Structure 1
């Protein structure tokens, strides 16, 4: 059975953002970590905001899930795919890898 989500590397995400591709970036780390730094344009997602995201986001719009190291984002991505989103990605390496590779692309 194929995975309901796909893996996405940081370089591809940089390219998509540079192209101005329409996508939804969600960060599932804790609120303090998110406040201290996140990928520009991403929104914090937790159990309380998940229903709102599902209601307001077009199901065909690509959805990229970010966590610390790219592990828990896979579970969240699988869950979101189960909510009817057709194009869901888990960012490999998570925010930690992103911030290390692209420190200039972190909103604080």
Structure 2
């Protein structure tokens, strides 16, 4: 198993007992079985460069879909099990922290927030597509 850079990632607990775990981009890249990565930036931001294998689902769509009506969410997301570990990333970790909390509140049991976002991802020299 790879050694993570930080000895103890930050955790926060949602109202329903779900967990949000803060991970740096480097820590995320070292996970032996990385979770589904959702980029919560706009599609325009996403297409300027994103982490490999990241799926794009903007924060407004997450907020609308989880709060008002599920049809705002794509089928691939609606069909996810609440047990599916999810990681979220944005540009600076502001939007991703909001999305992570909303996903945990919606019942996803393990949610990772990528701290520093894509800015830190690039600064760390990690691959983008």
Task: Name the TM-score class by shorter chain.
Answer: 0.7 to 0.9
Q: Distance in 1 between matches of 2:100 and 2:47?
A: 22
Of residues 62, 65, 69, the one that matches 2:92 is 69
Question: Relative contact order: is structure 1 or structure 2 higher (C-alpha 8 Å, sep ≥ 6)?
Answer: 1
Deviation at 1:94, TM superposition (A): 0.4
Alpha-carbon deviation of 1:54? 4.3
Match of 2:54 among 39, 42, 47: 42
The equivalent residue for 2:75 is 52
Task: Give yes or no for the alignment of 1:6 onto 2:21.
Answer: yes
Check whether the contact 2:21–2:111 (CA below 8 A) recurs between aligned residues: yes
1 or 2, which has the higher helix percentage? 1
| CA root-mean-square deviation | 1.9
Alignment partner, residue 89 of structure 1: 112
Q: How far off its partner does 1:50 sit?
A: 3.4
Q: Deviations over 1:41-60 (max 9, x none)?
A: 00001217636354222211
Contact 1:65 1:90 in 2 (8 A): yes
Q: Are 2:26 and 2:121, in contact at CA under 8 Å, matched by a contact in 1?
A: no
- 2:40 corresponds in structure 1 to 28
How many angstroms does 1:3 deviate by? Answer: 3.0
Q: Structure 1: any 5+ residue segments left out of the alignment?
A: none
Cα separation, 1, equivalents of 2:76 and 2:22: 21
| Residue in structure 1 matched with residue 3 of structure 2 by the alignment | none
Tell me which structure has the larger Cα radius of gyration. Answer: 2
TM-score, scaled relative to structure 1 = 0.83
